[in-house]
Amino acid sequence: MNLLLIGYGKMGRAIEAQALSRGHRIAGIVDPSRPEVGITDFSPAQADVAIEFTHPDSAFANVAACLRQGLPVVCGSTGWLHHFPEAQALSEQTGTPLFYASNYSVGVNLFFHFNEYIAAKMHQFGGYDVQVREIHHTQKVDQPSGTALTAAQGILRHFPAKTSWRNEAATEPHELAILSERTGTVVGTHIVTYTSAADSLELKHEAHTRDGFVQGALLAAEWLPGRHGVFGMQDLLGL
């Protein structure tokens, strides 16, 4: 496959290395460090899929440009989902597929799956409060993380006692606390904790390296061409 990389930070470089080892070709790299190259320089004739890992402020514009060019796009940037309905509409208008995940790790997506199951069971039996905690490196821009938000949304769907979230300690019983910490070089840790007077239960995912994210993004890029619509890791993994 011919891959267009949009963003050439830590994730972009890691994707490049693994893509080449899997026999793919890098058709181009779009990044502020290379201002002479832009998304509109590429069409489906040059690139089969674009993989976008940039910044919350630029992600939607990059995704929209890919869709208008007819380039299937795999996006891993977080913090831009207020524009997601526009991206969905543009995907439909152009007939170009979009794949979005807040986290591409297979392990994290199993974490999401089990998180919803546990939330439903905890609600069924009652007596527990719940909170989400996320820990990331100091260079992570968005807060809370996209992964923490996805976990929180899963809880809100299945634990009716919580009707909203806040990015600090909860002040009302209906609020789901998402506690964010930025420290050192932590790749990403997410913990959902249920607590009652009798006991506590934790569901935790800890990323040791970025390899899981990279592998998932490349699996999505290999899976996406020829499809129509908007997809996520549940579609890829059959969850």
Domain extent for 27: 2-100+211-237
Cα separation, 38 vs 181, in Å, equals 35
Average pLDDT, the chain: 95
Residue 140 is predicted with a pLDDT of: 87
Residue 20 shares a structural domain with residue 64: yes
Is 203 in contact with 154 (CB distance < 8 Å)?
Answer: no
pLDDT of residue 239: 86
Q: How confident is the model at residue 67 (pLDDT cuts 50, 70, 90)?
A: very high
Same domain flag for 75 and 127:
no
Number of domains in the chain: 2
Q: What is the pLDDT of residue 210?
A: 84
Quick one: pLDDT band at residue 84, thresholds 50, 70, 90? very high
Query: Are 122 and 169 contacting, i.e. CB atoms less than 8 angstroms apart?
Result: no
Q: Which DSSP symbol is given to 219?
A: H
pLDDT classification of 69: cutoffs 50, 70, 90: very high
Structure tokens of 7? 């963003």
Backbone angles phi, psi at 196, to 5 degrees: -130, 180
CATH number, residue 200: 3.30.360.10
Q: Are residues 215 and 175 in the same domain?
A: no
* pTM for this model (two decimals): 0.80
Residues 178, 216 within the same domain? no
Q: Are residues 168 and 200 in the same domain?
A: yes
Q: Catalytic residue positions?
A: 136, 140
pLDDT confidence of residue 156: 98
Residues 201 and 228 grouped into a single domain: no
Task: Give the residue-averaged pLDDT of 217-234.
Answer: 96
Residue 227 sits in a domain whose CATH number is 3.40.50.720
For residue 11, name the pLDDT band (cuts at 50, 70, 90): very high
**pLDDT value at residue 79:** 86
In whole angstroms, give the CA distance from residue 81 to residue 102.
10
pLDDT of residue 94: 97
Q: Are 162 and 150 contained in the same domain?
A: yes
Looking at the structure, tell me whether residues 122 and 177 fall in a common domain. Answer: yes
- pLDDT for the residue 78: 86
According to the model, what pLDDT value does residue 122 have? 96
Q: Is residue 200 located within the same domain as residue 110?
A: yes
Residues 127 and 166 occupy one common structural domain: yes
**Are 111 and 166 in the same domain?**
yes
- pLDDT at position 142 is 83
Cα-atom radius of gyration of the chain, to the nearest Å?
Answer: 19
Check whether residue 110 and residue 93 sit in a common domain.
no
